[in-house]
């Protein structure tokens, strides 16, 4: 089980880390993507969060550079990338938990983790799409920008509350 979770985490991590390279190809983004992949691999090999944290930070910085030097329009794949990045960290957590317990995880604990993973990723995806849509629709009108920010924050809060309710 630990090997499958590690492989899933690594493959999804590669996709998340390489997306900015395709969004805005540059030498800097490719070098940062390589460093992020190496940090994620190191974290998976050693079962330590330091590698995953460094990989997440580098991937986020790399994506920010790609947005800064890329096109001036909103990235329509940002919600999917946000949820995929979160899933990488959740899969990393499950892989570390499975490795530390020698592959034996209680079925009830695993089922609870999967339920939390599915409901939270669904809520996060909906919230991310709502934030993106608010940014697209209210980008031109500066008077409506505070209303869009409040609506986006309310969507995120609603997603968190519904997820906590579904999990508990």
Which H helix or E strand runs over 25?
none
Q: What is the pLDDT along the chain (168 residues), one digit of tens a residue?
A: 667 777 777 877 888 888 887 777 666 678 888 888 888 888 888 888 888 888 888 888 888 888 777 766 667 777 777 778 878 888 888 788 777 776 566 777 777 777 777 777 777 777 777 766 766 666 656 666 566 666 666 766 676 666 666 656
Q: Name the domain count of the chain.
A: 1
Q: Is residue 160 in a domain? A: no
Which structural domain, as residue segments, surrounds residue 6? 1-77
**H/E stretch holding 76:** none
| Structural domain contains residue 58 | yes
Q: Indicate whether 54 belongs to any domain.
A: yes
Under 8 Å between Cβ of 43 and 49? yes
Quick check: pTM over 0.85?
no
Residue 86 located in a structural domain: no
The CA distance from 1 to 98, in Å, is 7
Within a domain: residue 114?
A: no
């Amino acid at each position: 089980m630990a090997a499958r979770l590690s492989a899933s985490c690594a493959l999804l991590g590669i996709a998340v880390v390489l997306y900015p390279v395709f969004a805005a190809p540059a030498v800097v983004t490719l070098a940062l993507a390589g460093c992020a992949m190496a940090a994620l691999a190191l974290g998976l090999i050693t079962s330590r969060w330091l590698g995953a944290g460094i990989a997440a930070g580098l991937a986020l910085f790399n994506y920010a550079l790609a947005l800064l030097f890329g096109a001036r329009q909103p990235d329509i794949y940002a919600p999917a990338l946000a949820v995929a990045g979160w899933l990488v960290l959740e899969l990393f957590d499950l892989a570390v938990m499975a490795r530390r317990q020698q592959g034996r995880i209680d079925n009830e604990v695993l089922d609870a983790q999967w339920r939390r993973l599915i409901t939270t990723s669904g809520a996060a995806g909906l919230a991310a799409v709502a934030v993106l849509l608010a940014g697209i629709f209210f980008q031109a009108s500066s008077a409506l920008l505070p209303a869009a920010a409040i609506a986006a924050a309310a969507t995120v809060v609603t997603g968190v509350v519904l997820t906590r309710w579904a999990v508990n």
